[in-house]
Structure 1
Amino acid sequence: MLILQLAIILIASKIAGDISVKLGQPSVLGKLLIGIVLGPSVLGLVTDTTTLAEFSQIGVILLMFIAGLETDIDEFKRTGKASAFVGIGGIIVPLVLGYAAGLMLNLTTIESWFLGLLLSATSVSISVQALKEMNKLKSREGTTILGAAVIDDIIVILALAFLMSMAGGDVNLGVVVLKKVLFFAGAIIVGWKVVPWILKKFAPLKVTESLVSAALIICFVYAYLAEFTGVAAIIGAYIAGVAISLTDYKHDVFEKVETISYSIFVPVFFTSIGVTAEFGGITDHLVLIVILSILAILTKLIGASAGAKFAGFSWNSSLGIGSAMVSRGEVALIIAAIGLESKLLSQDMFAVIVVVVLVTTIVTPPMMKSFLVKKSKSHG
């Protein structure tokens, strides 16, 4: 079954992506929407299996690894302040308004803060693809978005640990913070000293594609250790990509990894987002879904755009950066799953959040395109 499903996903995602581009939208939008069509909600040709989920996980890890490989570290240093403004602005507004919305929905204080925190999450894996298609990944805007995503992830995960310890979960805040600090410190030291050495040792081996295998080993180990220490796997993969981007092997690794990723794993990731959408019983909560979707889109857009404007970007660039932070993706879904498990989210609320996350993911690429392409035209 899996082999047939992969064939269906690949053919459908490539055709849908092409149609999306012809309609003036990023190809990723077509791939997301075709996932909904192929999935249980419409045609039922593809089902959400564990194996498909694992393929999808590899896809998002490779996508962020490629983004790391394409990062210009000098530009990254220059945009550090802007990334901090965007990341923090994009957390404060959704957190506060999400909390207020929770209180209006008669949630308890701690459940309301949890909802606010959930709306503060960001996943830029979709935005990375849209930036690549617009040739903006290496621009000042692109680098700011990637930096802000890392900052957002760290703050939200630490705030989540704090909230869980308040909620009476057996979470030791000191241990949580220590694990994150150890991961980032270790990741930077290993990236600086060990990664170049590993690549140098693997490159001359008398086996096919030893260099690319070494790069993928580094990517997967970083992603695993990130997840193990409570940081998102995609952040680990991104840092691994940045580490390799500083070596002489950057271009060789990039070309081969891009080929592997985009021929199978990345299309599966985009399409499976749509496949996992469950629309059963959605009509009972339609009003809540609409309200929370609007809240999710506007709070992130306003908060992150304000941060970008504060950092000196033009309005179009600021709104483009804000748009890129709107997608909540797998980071919000992981937090929602934790909320469901610890009884901070009801089963119904969890189902609503899953649809809201899907909505934020689908609207992100067209919003980014409308602002960032406008900006290039006004400059051109």
Structure 2
Amino acid sequence: MLLISQLLAVEPATDVLGNEPIVPFAILLVVILVVPIVFEKLKLPGLVGLLAAGVLLGTNGLNVLQNDLPTMELLSDIGLVYLMFVSGLEVDMEQFRRTKNRSLVFGTFTFIVPLIMGTIVGRVFGFGWNASILIGSLFASHTLLAYPIVSRIGAVANEAVVVTIGATIFTDIGALLVLAVCVAINAGDFTIVRLITLIGSLVVYSAIVLFGFDRAGKEFFRRTGDDEGNQFLFVLLAVFLSAVGAQLIGVEKIVGAFLAGLAVNDVVGEGPVKEKVVFVGNVLFIPIFFVDLGLLIDLPAFVKSLSTIWLTLAIVVGLISSKFIAAFLAKLVYRYNLNELLAMWSLSMPQVGATLAATLVGYRAGLLTEGVLNSVIVLMLVTATLGPLITSRVAASLVPVAATDLQTETAVVENDPYRQENGKFTVVVPVYNPQTEQYLIEFAALLARQSSGRIIPLAIAKASVHMNTPQVDTAYQRSLELLNNAAQMSRELGVEAEPLLRIDDAIAQGITRASREQNASVIVMGWGKRTGIRSRLFGNVIDSILWATHCPVAVSRLLTSPKDIRRILVPVENLTQRAIQPVKFASILAAANDAQITVLHVCERRASESKKAWMRSQLSLIVGKLGLPYPIEIQVTPNDNVAGAIAIAAKDYDLVILRSMQRRNSAGVLAISDLNAQLSNTLTCSIVLLGEPQQDIPAIAPNKRQLVRVKTVTSDQ
């Protein structure tokens, strides 16, 4: 009877779920996993889906989630801080330093003009001076949402683009400082003395964060070496310590988060730690922030309020026009051409990261109304669509061209990653899987034989604290067997082989260090699968090698013998010399097998005939600079589905060579298409994923001496 009474006393399931803080988190995980995928299938941004999910699940919809729940408040605050941190982390400091003076001038234009315009809009609609200036500060910042477009096209070296990127630092810092002052004034009992004290505290605090964390981070990273786990934790600690420090001096935590991003920018560089930090934010915390933002939107009230619609129109038009005026002033001062003007305008137009963060802070502080919040959401959707659209139209014309043929030829030769300065052409082949060893050795033999080089089959035996453990003995014996097989295969193929066995703590480090010691020209290794959340978060062996290597890495999935390769397809995304380095690699294979190489560039479906002709001519000039002794076929095909177009074209080829590029995430971009991942799942032929060492390769000038056969494809393949 006692047991029955206890069972009857159990709370209803609805009450348990309603009081359990883990339930909102579980719902959020389902939303950020499913909703962006569904919206992207519908050709809509995943970010819009997250906002829509927030509206649907909020108090104005199904009332499943409430933004005042402790779980939502905590996760949303973390997402808000993370969003601003990533905004600072994504600023390219190296490019900024090259044009910092011009970036300061354009940053001043694109901050002051929108600030004035936004203040006027606020005053016209009856806001006080404090709130109006805050609205103006929302206009002043911008998010480099279209950066991946100019990066893909190869226009990031254009001065106008670099200046716009550098201006982001000034606009975002300026907007956040205005926010800090406006919120402090709104808190009441604010005097000139307190204003001076606040500004002085901000200056001292900013110096401590920017220089303190930069030096501490460099020292910590130097001492920890390759310990990415502790380095990841250090970066997170820097973020939240900076956020807490900002609150201690009386300003918003997003100011500290942005400064922390700038502070550790040089420390993490473009390495794997940065990728993991951004990955965590873009996959988990930042999406939760956008869902919480959707919870605040009262869509019925927004639609019914005519005055809000006029406010929204004024904010959208005011922002777009003020950003154009700022870009036009920069054009007059520095004599940029029309396309550079449009690029600066479109790059500085999108309002996502800093704008949304500052809007939410102002709304929570009572400075901004719900109408302003809803209007800024509309502003984000309009500018995030219009800005990248304009950028994509003008970016191709911004690709820089070197001054003379002589400079170009020198650049091509000096930056050839397959040129061996001293000694033989050396191919390092890490061997681990006996099932793929045969084709890898054959592939390496083709490369080595064509360049009169050598093969170094490499086996890594994992080390242990004690060298006499059974695990080390087993790994050692297995490695010897693999190397003996590799040596036998090399002899049969008529190529010199020098097997190398190395005992190391980590496989990736062992491969990269041995390759550096042997002065490897290229590393040839088997295709590794990326599975599970741990691999996504902490990477795998191939990821680590691609980040650390000094030479090109050919990650191969060979379905047939490399000796049977007769047709090679090389998709080229960027119209730059570095982007077509896979063609140079393909030429080595082609020479060995007397194979035909086809260079494929997929452009937008709506590209004009003149634009396609320009692309063909640029590819012809760049490929011609490689100086290959046989013709290269060039195809330019219009298709908005890049992966689909490549997959269709690849059906007629034995091998597809893809270029491995680092992914760049901009704050607010929550879902980035991984072209290589899509192709690896759809291509039915052999694949080589070519990763290159980090280096800068200048753009290529026209060359009259070329041997390129151009083929135009006027319809989708």
For normalisation by structure 1, the TM-score amounts to 0.80
The residue number in structure 1 matching 2:49 is 30
> Per the alignment, in what secondary structure is the counterpart of residue 324 of structure 1?
coil
Q: 65, 81, 106: which one pairs with 1:82?
A: 106
The residue number in structure 1 matching 2:175 is 152
Q: How far apart are the structure 2 equivalents of 1:44 and 1:133?
A: 37
The residue number in structure 2 matching 1:112 is 128
Aligned alpha-carbon RMSD (Å): 3.4
The residue number in structure 2 matching 1:196 is 218
Q: How far apart are the structure 1 equivalents of 2:60 and 2:141?
A: 24
The residue number in structure 1 matching 2:202 is 180
The residue number in structure 1 matching 2:412 is none
The residue number in structure 1 matching 2:260 is 240
The residue number in structure 2 matching 1:107 is none
2:25 maps to 1:43: no
Name the CA shift for 1:118/1:336 in 2 (closer, same or farther; >3 Å).
farther
What amino acid does structure 2 have at the position aligned with 1:36? V
What residue ranges of structure 2 are gaps of 5+ in the alignment? 1-19, 399-614, 616-717
Name the CA shift for 1:271/1:251 in 2 (closer, same or farther; >3 Å).
same
2:291 maps to 1:253: no
Aligned 8 A contact 2:119 2:135 in 1:
yes
Name the CA shift for 1:143/1:90 in 2 (closer, same or farther; >3 Å).
same
The residue number in structure 2 matching 1:290 is 309
2:328 maps to 1:309: yes
Q: What's the offset of the Cα at 1:298?
A: 1.9
Q: What's the offset of the Cα at 1:142?
A: 4.1
Aligned 8 A contact 2:214 2:263 in 1:
yes
The residue number in structure 2 matching 1:359 is 378
Name the CA shift for 1:336/1:69 in 2 (closer, same or farther; >3 Å).
closer
Q: How far apart are the structure 2 equivalents of 1:114 and 1:95?
A: 9
The residue number in structure 2 matching 1:106 is none
Aligned 8 A contact 1:29 1:365 in 2:
no
Structure with the larger strand share? 2
2:246 maps to 1:219: no
Q: 326, 333, 349: which one pairs with 2:360?
A: 333
Q: How far apart are the structure 1 equivalents of 2:48 and 2:279?
A: 21
The residue number in structure 1 matching 2:229 is 209
Q: 7, 12, 15: which one pairs with 2:34?
A: 15
Q: Which moved more, 1:14-23 or 1:268-277?
A: 14-23
Q: What's the offset of the Cα at 1:289?
A: 0.9
Q: How far apart are the structure 2 equivalents of 1:63 and 1:80?
A: 24
Indicate the structure (1 or 2) with the bigger Cα radius of gyration: 2
Name the CA shift for 1:248/1:145 in 2 (closer, same or farther; >3 Å).
closer
Aligned 8 A contact 2:297 2:374 in 1:
yes
The residue number in structure 2 matching 1:324 is 350
What residue ranges of structure 1 are gaps of 5+ in the alignment? 103-110
Structure with the larger helix share? 1
Q: How far apart are the structure 2 equivalents of 1:20 and 1:252?
A: 29
The residue number in structure 1 matching 2:369 is 350
2:282 maps to 1:272: no
Q: What's the offset of the Cα at 1:81?
A: 2.3
Q: How far apart are the structure 2 equivalents of 1:330 and 1:194?
A: 28
Aligned 8 A contact 1:126 1:361 in 2:
no
Aligned 8 A contact 2:86 2:261 in 1:
yes
Structure 1 residues 47-93: Cα deviation after superposition (integer angstroms, max 9, x where no partner): 21232122122123223333433322132232232222211222111
The residue number in structure 1 matching 2:121 is 97
Structure 1 residues 217-259: Cα deviation after superposition (integer angstroms, max 9, x where no partner): 0111122223433444333223322322313665132122123
Identity of aligned residues (%): 19
Q: Which moved more, 1:310-319 or 1:119-128?
A: 119-128
